[in-house]
Amino acid sequence: MTLLPRTLHAVELIDAPDQDPALLEHSMSQVAAVNRWLGGRRALLAHMHEMLPSAGPATILDAGTGSGDLPRALVTEARRIGRDLRVHATDAHPLMVDIARRACAGWPEITVGRADVLVLPYADRSFDGATLAMTLHHMEGDQAVRCLRELARVSRRAVIVSDLERSLLNWMGALALGATVWRGNRLTRHDGPLSVRRSFTASELADLAREAGFPRARVYRHVPWRVILIIRTDDA
């Protein structure tokens, strides 16, 4: 439970299609720093095994990829443990796709393309796993439920959704970052605290999974910032 009510019907600036490309890329580098230093990367890698087959090559879809920092983290970990992993990173925002392509240009295991997570252009069970990070809270109405169903449709083993956890502490932390580290970028300064206000609690994520038809989904809290939802699609 949290004393911070969820903010609805508020638009984050990075979602606008006509943002200044350089400002957006800088904002995405700040989001990548949050993933690196405040638990997003660590939380995803802690559950990465859920998406991988026991042996052989593996494929993962990363929807809403932003700058592609988490696909690079997944590939780095796969290299470390000796796994052959290919990641297809997608985003609906054309400028994000350009940013991710540049950032991932030196990573042959990663391909980048444009796709809407609500209507994925892939056949059922196309990937071993699917990930969605810092994106679910951007959705309105029934979009979150539709998103979970689409990710599960294209996944053979598991879906991992990582997002901010809505709490007063996290919101205050985002406000503090907005006044210091993020103050030079109006996008991150505005969107960071709003992202926390639009995010979900652990119990709300579990409720969303049940509404989407996944009553056995599991939710994990990763202090201080993240909550992870795992939907197994292999009936394991």
Q: Is residue 155 part of a domain?
A: yes
In a domain? residue 77: yes
Is 180 domain-assigned? no
- Per DSSP, the three-state class of 99 is helix
Model's pTM, two decimal places?
0.95
Q: Amino acid identity, residue 235? A: D
So what's the pLDDT on residue 1? 60
What is the pLDDT confidence band of residue 225, given thresholds at 50, 70 and 90? Answer: confident
- Residue 193 belongs to some domain of the structure: no
Query: pLDDT tens, 136-176?
Result: 999 998 999 999 999 999 999 999 999 999 999 999 999 99
In a domain, 4, yes or no: no
% of the chain with per-residue pLDDT over 90: 92
43: amino acid identity, one letter: A
pLDDT(89) > 90:
yes
Q: How far apart are CA 167 and CA 173, in angstroms?
A: 10
Please give the torsion angle defined by the CA atoms of residues 95, 96, 102 and 105, in that order, rounded to the nearest 10 degrees: -130
Task: Give me the chain's average pLDDT, please.
Answer: 95
User: Does residue 87 form part of some domain?
Assistant: yes
Does residue 236 have a pLDDT over 70? Answer: no
Q: According to the 3-state scheme, what is the secondary structure of 201-229?
A: CHHHHHHHHHHHCCCCCEEEEECCCEEEE
What domain range includes position 117? 13-166+200-232
Number of structural domains (the chain) is 1
* CATH number, domain with residue 114: 3.40.50.150
For residue 52, which amino acid is it? L
CA distance 184 to 187: 9
Residue 41 lies in a domain: yes
Residues present in the chain in total: 236
Calculate helix-pair angle for 21-37, 94-103, nearest 10 degrees: 60
Q: Tell me, yes or no, whether 177 lies in a domain.
A: no
